[in-house]
Structure 1
Amino acid sequence: MAITTVVTVAEILKNNGLAVEKKVVTSTIGMKDETRGRLIQKARIEIVLAKTEKYVSMTTPPSARAREKEAVGKEEKKQ
């Protein structure tokens, strides 16, 4: 994936509160040019994100959320 695309996706997720940034690493890697056969340097980026609670709640199916609420409600009634 192109670096600009990776950065854009990470920024969108962070700005919408769906992820938090854990680590960003940049480096260069050597790749062989297929046409000329010489070694060329390419930029590389690694962005590590962690899911937020907002993301988890959005991706959890509604039926699972309903079961969780039922379980919490039953525990509160017992106390």
Structure 2
Amino acid sequence: MDVVYFAWVRERIGLPREVVDTQATTVAGLVDELRAREERYALAFEDISALRVALDQELSDFDAPLAGVREVAFFPPMTGG
């Protein structure tokens, strides 16, 4: 699946997007797999309460299932102006 990173998440990981082969069944499981990869991922996903996630461009939760999902996007909360 495609995993997309925005804002400071992209800066910490150093990639705007990547294709990830995962065994995870939920977003939280995917985050655990990514954290285990290396330190830059661990730092980016250190505090998931500071992150939002979208599955196939629909805002979602970290306990959401990944079955059938083609794209997961991680980004900080947005504020209006």
Please indicate the TM-score interval, normalised by the length of the shorter structure: under 0.3
Structure with greater helix percent: 1
Structure with greater strand percent: 1
* Max Rg structure: 1
| TM-score normalised over the length of structure 1 | 0.23
| TM-score normalised over the length of structure 2 | 0.23
